[in-house]
């Protein structure tokens, strides 16, 4: 645990640490203006990404399959909330109208392909998830005609030194004041429906097992 983050706050962030890696990747590669897309926006990683990128001053567009979650996503800092289908292009076109300065993709598959095709010249896409699919079907045109950068994000084997830097940032300059909105406490006896919701893609934010806090 870091000074500046209590145990509960650390647990709420948890796998959302990956969102911090994605945010860091976008910042390191110069994304500082224009719209930034977050896919799977109500998920554990997506929620932290929306909140963090917004805190970093980016104009966040949150893509979700849950129309009822628009208020939640705006409360985390999303400037715009769009439907998942709006970033799931099936036209077969190799390139789409340039829109995104940056992307944090937690979903993979056709949504990642769509995001890459619609990323602006020189834009950056951080790919960390495969909720929809691990496959990626596209041409090289986003890379060789628009200089789009696709960055892979892995939190599991990240060296401890880099891990410490990001956790310390999450405990200070990047500390999120919306963590309470992102998480709900659930008792061990009530955990199964929460796991079922994750498997159905219906979970929102983070669920903290209350038992672990005593
Ligand atoms: N690279 C790494 O080191 C690393 C670390 C942590 C997690 N991950 C990966 O990141 C991904 C997200 O993790 P998480 O903890 O945020 O998962 P999660 O809490 O289950 O959230 C996933 C979100 O994706 C969206 N979604 C669900 N099913 C979908 C579908 N069929 N098509 C499109 N969108 C769908 C939903 O959000 P909406 O309803 O808002 O669209 C859902 O809430 C997972 O694939 C996980 O394995 C990778």
Domain segments of the chain as ranges:
1-214
Token reading at 18: 């990956």
Task: Write the CA distances from 130 to 39, 88, 149, 162, 211, integer angstroms.
Answer: 11, 14, 18, 24, 30
- Cα(165) to centroid of ligand 1, in Å? 24
Give the CA count within 13 Å in the CB-facing half-sphere of 23.
26
Q: What is the pLDDT at residue 14?
A: 86
Q: Is 77 helix (H, G, I), strand (E, B) or coil?
A: coil
Q: What is the pLDDT at residue 213?
A: 52
Q: Dihedral angle at the C-alpha atoms of 209, 14, 101, 136, nearest 10 degrees?
A: -80
Residue in 19, 37, 43, 60 to alter for ligand 1 test, most ligand atoms within 8 A of Cβ: 43
Which residues make Cβ contacts (< 8 Å) with residue 183, sequence separation at least 6?
Answer: 8, 11, 12, 205, 206, 207, 208
Q: What is the pLDDT at residue 3?
A: 83
DSSP state of 14: G
Could you tell me if the CB of 129 is within 6 A of ligand 1? Answer: yes
- Cα(148) to centroid of ligand 1, in Å? 23
- Core vs surface per residue 7-22: b (16+ CB within 10 A) or e: ebbbbbbeebbbbbbb
| Separation between Cα atoms, residue 177 and residue 183, nearest integer Å | 12
Do the Cβ atoms of 77 and 51 come closer than 8 Å?
yes
Q: What is the pLDDT at residue 212?
A: 54
Return the CATH number of the domain spanning residue range 1-214.
Answer: 3.40.50.720
Q: Is 35 helix (H, G, I), strand (E, B) or coil?
A: strand
Terminal C-alpha separation, the chain = 16
Give, for all 214 residues of the chain, the pLDDT tens digit: 578 899 889 989 987 899 999 999 999 999 988 999 999 999 999 999 999 999 999 999 999 999 999 999 999 999 999 999 999 999 999 999 999 999 999 999 999 999 999 999 999 999 999 999 999 999 999 999 999 999 999 999 999 999 999 999 999 999 999 998 999 899 999 999 999 998 998 889 989 888 655 4
pTM given for the model: 0.95
Do the Cβ atoms of 183 and 158 come closer than 8 Å?
no
Give the residue, by CA position, lying nearest to ligand 1 atom 37. 40
Q: Dihedral angle at the C-alpha atoms of 22, 25, 30, 34, nearest 10 degrees?
A: -10
Atom of ligand 1 nearest to the CA of 73: 40
């Amino acid at each position: 645990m870091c000074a500046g983050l209590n145990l509960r706050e650390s647990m709420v962030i948890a796998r959302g640490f990956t969102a911090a890696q994605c945010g860091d990747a976008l910042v390191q590669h110069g994304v500082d203006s224009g719209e930034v897309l977050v896919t799977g926006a109500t998920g554990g990683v997506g929620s932290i990404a929306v909140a963090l990128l917004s805190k970093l001053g980016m104009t966040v567009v949150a893509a979700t399959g849950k129309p009822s979650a628009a208020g939640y996503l705006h409360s985390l800092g999303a400037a715009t909330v769009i439907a998942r289908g709006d970033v799931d292009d099936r036209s077969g076109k190799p390139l789409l109208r340039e829109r995104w300065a940056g992307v944090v993709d937690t979903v993979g598959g056709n949504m990642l392909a769509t995001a890459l095709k619609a990323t602006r010249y020189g834009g950056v896409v951080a790919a960390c998830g495969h909720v929809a699919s691990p496959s990626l079907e596209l041409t090289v045109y986003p890379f060789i005609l628009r200089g789009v950068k696709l960055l892979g994000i892995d939190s599991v084997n990240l060296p401890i030194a880099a891990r410490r830097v990001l956790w310390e940032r999450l405990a200070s300059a990047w500390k999120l004041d919306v963590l309470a909105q992102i998480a709900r406490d659930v008792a061990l006896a009530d955990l199964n429906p929460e796991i079922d919701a994750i498997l159905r893609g219906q979970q929102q934010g983070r669920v903290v097992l209350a038992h672990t806090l005593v």
